[in-house]
Amino acid sequence: MGETRSTCPYCGVGCGVIIEHAEGAITGVRGDPAHPANFGQLCTKGRTLHLTAAPALAAARLTQPLQRASRGEPALPVAWNTVLDGVADRFAACIREHGPDSVAFYVSGQLLTEDYYVFNKLAKALIGTNNIDTNSRLCMSSAVAGYKQTLGADAPPACYDDIDHAGCLFLAGSNAAWAHPILFRRIEAARARKPHQKMIVVDPRRTATAAMADLHLAIEPGTDVALFHGMLHHLLWDDSIDRTFIRDHTTGFEALKAVVREMTPRIAAEICGIAEADLVTAAQWFAQGPTLSLYCQGLNQSTAGTAKNAALINLHLAAGQIGAPGMGPFSLTGQPNAMGGREVGGLANLLPAHRDLDNPAHRAEVAALWGIDSVRAEPGLTAVDLFDALAAGTVKMVWIACTNPAQSMPDQATVRAGLARAELVVLQEAYATTETADFADVLLPATTWGEKEGTVTNSERRISRVRAALPAPGAARADWAIAKDFAQRLEARLRPGLPTLFGYANVAEVFAEHAVTTRGRDLDITGLSHGKLDTDGPQQWPYPAGATTGKARLYADHVFATSDGRARFAATKFVPVAERVDARYPFRLNTGRLRDQWHGMSRTGTLATLFAHAPEPAVELNGADAVRRGLLSGDLVRIESRRGAVVVPVAISPMGRPGSAYLPMHWGSATLAGRDSTGINAVTAKAFCPISKQPELKHAAVRIAKLDLPWKFAAFGFPEDAVRLIALRDGVRALAGHFDYASVVLVGGDRGGVFLRAAAATPVAPEVVTQLDALFGLDAADVVRYDDPRRAIARRVRIVDARLAAVRLSGDIAAEAWLRDWLTSGQDVTAMRAQLLVPSVGAPKGYRTRGRTVCSCHGVTESDLRMAIADSAGPPAAVLAAVQARLKCGTGCGSCLPEVRSMIN
């Protein structure tokens, strides 16, 4: 039995974990009590990490290099040396014939800093292209641009401790309760300790976070700049600005005043669709402070992303709310290491250590550090442009690492056209069956959490070690090492005879070289090394040589990272979203996260437990819109934008405003696997912020119409052996394309089964049903059967040890919900055997659907909670105590607490 300290690979909170392992397998995980990001707590995703590493799920992993003779052919095993030599030959030939910009790299905010560093150097130093961008472009690039435009450097000035010191928490475009759960536990704790602490939430939806706010500003999507300018207008009118701070430490206030002059609170409130009095209250609470702003994708994923970030920072500068405990702008990083990627300059417009490509002095410094003649000045292609260039044929080869653009990029039609047209797609991945894998000519197996060594940086600039508890599975290798080996092969072809630029003996040497590049920069970490982090634990930057500790807060001296040391107000006018709603596309579509899933679900999608909170894809619609369109929860709708369409069931929800719709970002074509589906990003918009180049994933104009697919189908069940779960899931996915609509998810909690819900205009071919039956073991002789060929209704039920093991319903699936509940609960069905075959039968008398699971730790469902709440009396705190005493909900990781509180309220 061993224990290894590491870091959670999911969100930017950056929680420390202790991995428990024995005999070559990870057996458990718990929060690291010594880690300052979480002090031992973990959310639903973090506390199930060890389950994602279970040997039974090994089939989900890519453990051997694979290569396809041509697209559509099976990918066959190939030796590392052969495949890397082959790819190096093809990259070198392409670069010689078409120039360095004919190739590109698309990497990930989930890579470790060291992985990122080597990829960036491979592109910019060796190949001489700046065509390296990352999925962080979809996540944090507006925050980067906002910081640089106002404070002079991409450096979040605040830290997690500031939550405890703040008098006002201003959350904008952030559902932290779901997206950053452990940070939200801190907010809950601070509010419990400080009853007078104010909490304002700016969000078009009444999220779990908004439900806890003292003031929820449910603005129209994309109107944040109008709101912030309106608040500043009020502060000016009320003389609540800090004139001394503005005079001594800033520039540009007069220009900003001219911009906000016309944005009166009344006009701003009208644009935002909120009450003027609420806007004024928000401005007053903000000015009283100390105010800590926490913000995320609602500001970033916007065509005005930079302007939104800068307008919020304007408020902090005007009110003097920066540089002291409890105050300042604080962007919450989406991905675990988007920050590390920014530190090494792993974006198409950046260079190492927060240097800029468009700065000749910076280019010269980096060329000297890397030992090359020069760095190209032209910026590379950012994410959206990169896939457009692939589709246009100007970029011919792409190397994708640790990300899944065929799921996550907006406007999937163009992205998939680009991948299809590319002459060579190399995919470096830990998981075998992401959507992008279908487009890859070469698949290179990479190590993942529990197997990797390196570092990551979280939202508060804290660098933590990531450590391996296990050896790499099969032939998988560390990302940095794959990039290094490829780089050395390419060097031999592009610059033979010259010394290598990639002479790293181990990952610590990569970190050491990265640290040297930061000398004298705002993020100077020359005092850090892997050894130092191993000895002293996670540290915040800057941490220059000779320092004994990092810096908790920046700009305490009010000297900013600009040439004159003064912060700059950004005088940017409000502009609305790129795609206006109109009579043809009347709905505003927003996208975002679920509580228990992570991005494209390549890891979280292997655990049935993590589907319990949101079991199936659905689009949230406001009740008034549903009534107007004659829609009920569960009805299928076709959502269509100017780019594509997706079919999903409706979930009626009070969270959104009338005229709006909300789709979780996670459902790609692996889950929404029906005919021609490309997942939810079929409809999202690729219009991007002109400065940050971040696409407006938070808003698309769509139309929504009921889709009548009369032939219904559902099949669900457990594999005969747990190790067959992934094979069953992938087998079902492979057949799902025969249906007009299909979703393939996991079901059944700890045991793990697969659930296919499908529908079609007419019954699918019998052989498809036969193949699905065979996958679920419903072709065995002892399976209970019912067939009515005249009405195309059939039912198959497999019972093992008196419990449901698999069910298939076709034509009539009215009994699907309760049969699925029975399958999951494992209850004895001996007495119900006859009833199992009655078509259209309702649930047995007294049956109560358990609904989705709200508390994953203790398996508490929505209906359990409603009953317990109904049985309790008193003020909300007393009801919560009574409910918790009965059900224990929220006493584990606490991730369900915001929702439980919301239900009680």
Least separation in angstroms between CB 60 and ligand SF4: 19
Least separation in angstroms between CB 31 and ligand SF4: 7
Helix, strand or coil, per DSSP, at residue 736: helix
Q: Which tokens go with 519?
A: 């000398």
Q: Which tokens go with 510?
A: 């990569």
**Which residue matches tokens 């197997």?**
451
Residue 11 contacts ligand SF4 per CB under 6 A:
yes
CB nearer to ligand SF4: give 449 or 502: 449
* CA dist list (Å): 260 to 227, 233, 234: 10, 6, 10
CB nearer to ligand SF4: give 46 or 752: 46
Q: Which tokens go with 176?
A: 């932290």
Which among 112, 121, 45 is positioned nearest to 468, based on CA atoms? 112
Choices 50-58, 174-182, 481-489, 586-594; region in contact with ligand SF4 by CB under 6 A: 174-182
Cα–Cα distance measured from residue 126 to residue 351, given in angstroms and rounded to the nearest whole number: 14
SS3 string, 672-715, reads ECCCCCCCHHHCCCCCECCCCCCECCCCEEEEEEECCCCEEEEE
Buried b (16+ CB within 10 A) or exposed e, 276-293: bebbbbbbbbbbebbbbb
Least separation in angstroms between CB 7 and ligand SF4: 8
Residue 18 contacts ligand SF4 per CB under 6 A:
no
Tell me the chain's radius of gyration from C-alpha atoms: 27
Choices 13-21, 515-523, 651-659, 804-812; region in contact with ligand SF4 by CB under 6 A: 13-21
Residue 107 contacts ligand SF4 per CB under 6 A:
no
Residue 594 contacts ligand SF4 per CB under 6 A:
no
Enclosing H/E stretch for 393: none
Cα–Cα distance measured from residue 445 to residue 430, given in angstroms and rounded to the nearest whole number: 6
Choices 180-188, 371-379, 397-405, 498-506; region in contact with ligand SF4 by CB under 6 A: 180-188
Q: Give every CB contact of residue 836 below 8 A, 6+ residues apart in sequence.
A: 784, 795, 797, 819, 829
> Residue 397 — φ and ψ, nearest 5°?
-135, 140
Q: Beta-strand (E) ranges in 430-554?
A: 442-445, 454-457, 462-466, 539-540
Residue 868 contacts ligand SF4 per CB under 6 A:
no
Q: Which tokens go with 596?
A: 């228990």
Choices 40-48, 522-530, 565-573, 822-830; region in contact with ligand SF4 by CB under 6 A: 40-48
CB nearer to ligand SF4: give 15 or 709: 15
Instruction: Count each helix (H run) and each strand (E run) in the chain, helices first.
Output: 29, 36
Residue 8 contacts ligand SF4 per CB under 6 A:
yes
Buried b (16+ CB within 10 A) or exposed e, 584-622: ebebbbbbbbbbbbbbbbbbbbbbbbbbbbbbbbbbbbb
Q: Which of 51, 87, 166, 182 binds ligand SF4 (CB under 6 A)?
A: 182
Choices 41-49, 136-144, 481-489, 610-618; region in contact with ligand SF4 by CB under 6 A: 41-49
Residue 465 contacts ligand SF4 per CB under 6 A:
no
Instruction: Give the end-to-end CA distance of the chain in Å, rounded to a whole number.
Output: 45
Residue 857 contacts ligand SF4 per CB under 6 A:
no
Least separation in angstroms between CB 821 and ligand SF4: 28
Distance of CA 861 to the CA centre of its chain: 25
Residue 36 contacts ligand SF4 per CB under 6 A:
no
Q: Which of residues 220-259 bind ligand SF4 (CB under 6 A)?
A: none
Residue 13 contacts ligand SF4 per CB under 6 A:
yes
Cα–Cα distance measured from residue 325 to residue 165, given in angstroms and rounded to the nearest whole number: 6
Cα–Cα distance measured from residue 306 to residue 308, given in angstroms and rounded to the nearest whole number: 5
Is-contact 172 181, C-beta < 8 A? Answer: no
Residue 159 contacts ligand SF4 per CB under 6 A:
no
CB nearer to ligand SF4: give 664 or 753: 664
Q: Which tokens go with 14?
A: 């950056």
Choices 8-16, 341-349, 495-503, 570-578; region in contact with ligand SF4 by CB under 6 A: 8-16
Residue 46 contacts ligand SF4 per CB under 6 A:
yes
Residue 486 contacts ligand SF4 per CB under 6 A:
no
Least separation in angstroms between CB 184 and ligand SF4: 8
Residue 794 contacts ligand SF4 per CB under 6 A:
no
Residue 213 contacts ligand SF4 per CB under 6 A:
no
Residue 14 contacts ligand SF4 per CB under 6 A:
yes
CB nearer to ligand SF4: give 217 or 893: 893
Least separation in angstroms between CB 864 and ligand SF4: 24
Q: Which residue is nearest to ligand SF4 (CB)?
A: 46
How many other CB atoms sit within 10 Å of the CB of residue 562? 16
Cα–Cα distance measured from residue 430 to residue 467, given in angstroms and rounded to the nearest whole number: 16
Q: Which of 5, 6, 10, 103 binds ligand SF4 (CB under 6 A)?
A: 10
Q: Give every CB contact of residue 578 below 8 A, 6+ residues apart in sequence.
A: 303, 685, 687, 696, 699
Helix, strand or coil, per DSSP, at residue 567: strand
CB nearer to ligand SF4: give 411 or 451: 451
Identify any residues that bridge with 704 across adjacent strands, giving them in sequence order: 639
CB nearer to ligand SF4: give 228 or 598: 598
Choices 37-45, 338-346, 622-630, 794-802; region in contact with ligand SF4 by CB under 6 A: 37-45
CB nearer to ligand SF4: give 337 or 436: 337
CB nearer to ligand SF4: give 35 or 206: 35
Least separation in angstroms between CB 599 and ligand SF4: 11
Q: Which of 18, 26, 29, 38 binds ligand SF4 (CB under 6 A)?
A: 38
CB nearer to ligand SF4: give 183 or 689: 183
How many other CB atoms sit within 10 Å of the CB of residue 771? 16
CB nearer to ligand SF4: give 466 or 726: 466
Residue 344 contacts ligand SF4 per CB under 6 A:
no
Least separation in angstroms between CB 81 and ligand SF4: 37
Residue 43 contacts ligand SF4 per CB under 6 A:
yes
Residue 139 contacts ligand SF4 per CB under 6 A:
no
Q: Which of 65, 109, 173, 181 binds ligand SF4 (CB under 6 A)?
A: 181
CB nearer to ligand SF4: give 90 or 185: 185
Residue 178 contacts ligand SF4 per CB under 6 A:
no
Choices 178-186, 716-724, 773-781, 860-868; region in contact with ligand SF4 by CB under 6 A: 178-186
Site string for ligand SF4, 534-563 (x = CB under 6 A): ------------------------------
Is-contact 90 424, C-beta < 8 A? Answer: yes
CB nearer to ligand SF4: give 16 or 379: 16
Residue 610 contacts ligand SF4 per CB under 6 A:
no
Alpha helices in 351-449 (DSSP H): 360-370, 383-392, 405-408, 412-421
Choices 12-20, 60-68, 626-634, 846-854; region in contact with ligand SF4 by CB under 6 A: 12-20
421 burial (CB, 10 Å; 0-12 / 13-18 / 19+) is: middle
CB nearer to ligand SF4: give 45 or 205: 45
Residue 60 contacts ligand SF4 per CB under 6 A:
no
Helix, strand or coil, per DSSP, at residue 617: coil
| Strand 700-706 to 587-592 pairing | antiparallel
Residue 380 contacts ligand SF4 per CB under 6 A:
no
Size of the site for ligand SF4 (CB under 6 A): 14
The binding site for ligand SF4 (CB under 6 A) comprises 8, 10-11, 13-15, 38, 42-43, 45-46, 180-182
